[in-house]
Structure formats: structure tokens, C-alpha cells
């Protein structure tokens, strides 16, 4: 991983530290379900982009 990748990861973790506690405090029953759905959507989009995107090295 390059320096830019590490900085992006740290920024993502910092945002998660700020957002996750507030989200969990609001709706305990539906938050985990919604988070799992959003995580699945994001993972699918990243996989599709990696597989078919312009920067893939699979050709």
C-alpha cells in the first residue's frame, strides 16, 4: 500500500469514529440491518468497478 492508500484508510476510520456512535444511538433495531445492506451494496460496487473498471489489469 502506498502512502495515499494509508491516508485514505485513516480518513475513513476517522469519519467512522465520528458517525457510527451517533447512528447506533438513534435506532438500535434497524441500524445494523441497514448498515449490512449498505455494506453489501458498497462491496458489490467496488467489486464491479475492480472487475470491469478502466484501471483493471485483467486484460
Domain count, the chain: 1
Residue 27 in any domain: the answer is yes
Residue 1 in any domain: the answer is no
Residue 59 in any domain: the answer is no
pLDDT at 27: 65
Residue 10 in any domain: the answer is no
pLDDT at 33: 81
Give the tens place of pLDDT for each residue, 1-58.
Answer: 667 777 888 888 888 888 877 776 776 667 778 888 888 999 888 888 877 777 655 5
Instruction: Give the pTM.
Output: 0.47
Rounded to a whole number of angstroms, the CA Rg of the chain reads 15
Residue 57 in any domain: the answer is no
Residue 24 in any domain: the answer is yes
Range of the domain at 35: 15-52
Residue 7 in any domain: the answer is no
Residue 43 in any domain: the answer is yes
Cα separation of 7 and 35, whole Å?
Answer: 24
Amino acid at each position: 500500500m502506498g502512502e495515499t492508500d494509508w491516508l485514505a484508510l485513516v480518513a475513513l476510520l476517522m469519519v467512522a469514529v465520528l458517525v457510527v456512535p451517533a447512528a447506533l444511538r438513534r435506532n438500535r433495531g434497524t441500524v445494523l440491518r441497514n448498515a449490512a445492506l449498505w455494506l453489501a451494496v458498497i462491496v458489490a460496487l467496488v467489486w464491479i468497478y475492480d472487475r470491469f473498471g478502466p484501471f483493471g489489469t485483467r486484460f
